Amino acid sequence: MQVSFACTDHGLKAPRNGEHSKQNATSPNTTSHARARFRTVALIARSLGSFTHRYHHNLKESTAKQTGMKYRNLGKSGLRVSCLGLGTWVTFGGQISDEVAEQLMTIAYESGVNLFDTAEVYSTGKAEILLGNIIRKKCWRRSSLVITTKLYWGGKAETERGLNRKHIIEGLKSSLQRMQLEYVDVVFANRTDSNTPMEEIVRAMTHVINQGMAMYWGTSRWSAMEIMEAYSVARQFNLIPPVCEQAEYNFFQREKVETQLPELYHKIGVGVVSWSPLACGIITGKYENGIPESSRAAMKPYQWLREKIMSEDGRKQQAKLKELTHIAEKLGCTLPQLAIAWCLRNEGVSSVLIGSSNPVQLTENLGAIQVIPKITTGIASEVDHLLGNRPHSKKDFHH
């Protein structure tokens, strides 16, 4: 069993995401650490053949008769999630009122959405509070919901952030209190933590699952190498491995989901919950003639988004979107619906998180499910040709 997928795509000397160390990559400490990580990954990978056979069966997608919502396994776990989930980033507790948030959750739930995603850092905890209040008010059965949250930035104190055992346990307890829940279905590590050993992270995640505070755990914005390391540590010490990775995936962000994560999906069962299918609203076309005052790009914390839209690359993207609109019209759908359905055609994607600021937008996005069958191999090739950014991969994901 080769581990080239875990080594070649990510240089062993590269720092983890957010790591600010200026240490020379060729120093003895860094080199020995990299070799140790490689040995661990290689050792476990050699034994993968003894249990990867369990992932060879086909995981079936089902469709609800009443709503038309499609359900898939979360990675290759047994948990069934709606192929579209509702995210709360930016909107809940911030951009929209509590009343609109309730409307959105109600529309989503009644349309068959069972996956609702939040994080301790969203609106400094207000998003979790609002999510919990709505669930309680609507009296929805807890067993009918898949609630996920993410941990890393919990507070201002040094001990209130990161993925150390203390913050994973205390942070999740605080999240559960805010949401008025006994457990979440999936707790995500909301980035990697270069200050915490991988074994400590995996042990802490295993602990909160064993304590009934979570059903599963996953990663968010981790590299394939880091996910493989977590999996290897879990197998080495009989701990619980992650089941999925939250990753950005859209027309303009393809490399990771299409070339790096499929290997993990097939070999160790890690699936994808993708976010930002509309590239923070860029793919809606609303930025074609500038930055609307009510848009996310007009908000102070999103200066980076404004700069991205106004850049040369941003103008090129807008030109490509005009061309893609013609394909959407040919299929009888909107550009956002095409973009979301295009994400869902990838076999490794368990669910696509959509965020909406109003009911009309959400209803439109939910309509993307009807577009999935229309994206034939020919249409997908046409999209690839227009985008001109298809990464080289071993497998074609067009259904």
Among all residues, which ones are annotated catalytic?
122
Element (H, E) at 337: helix 335-344
Residue with tokens 């529309």: 107
pLDDT of residue 314: 80
How many CB atoms sit inside 10 A of residue 46's CB? 12
The answer to whether residue 50 scores a pLDDT higher than 50 is no
pLDDT of residue 106: 98
- Angle, helix 98-110 to helix 359-366, in steps of 10 degrees: 20
Query: Stretch 12-20: mean pLDDT, rounded?
Result: 42
Give the right CATH number for 4-11+28-278+349-369 from 1.25.40.10, 2.30.38.10, 3.40.50.300, 3.20.20.100. Answer: 3.20.20.100
The answer to whether residue 28 scores a pLDDT higher than 60 is no
pLDDT of residue 301: 72
Q: What is the rounded average pLDDT for all residues in the chain?
A: 87
The answer to whether residue 257 scores a pLDDT higher than 80 is yes
Residue ranges of the domains in the chain?
4-11+28-278+349-369
**H helices of 281-334, where?**
303-310, 312-331
Q: How far apart are the C-alpha atoms of 244 and 230, rounded to whole Å?
A: 12
Residue 374 confidence class, pLDDT cut points 50, 70, 90: very high
pLDDT of residue 119: 97
Residue 74 confidence class, pLDDT cut points 50, 70, 90: very high
pLDDT tens for 79-100 read 999 999 999 998 999 889 999 9
Q: How far apart are the C-alpha atoms of 271 and 256, rounded to whole Å?
A: 12
pLDDT of residue 302: 72
Query: Stretch 185-203: mean pLDDT, rounded?
Result: 97
* Contacting residues for 127 by C-beta, under 8 A, at least 6 apart: 88, 89, 92, 93, 94, 118, 119
Residue 62 confidence class, pLDDT cut points 50, 70, 90: very high
CB 280 within 8 Å of CB 306: no
pTM over 0.85: no
| C-alpha atoms less than 13 angstroms from C-alpha of 78 in its C-beta half-sphere | 2
Query: Stretch 39-66: mean pLDDT, rounded?
Result: 61
Query: Stretch 280-308: mean pLDDT, rounded?
Result: 74
CB 152 within 8 Å of CB 189: yes
Residue 38 confidence class, pLDDT cut points 50, 70, 90: low
**Between 197 and 17, whose confidence is greater?**
197
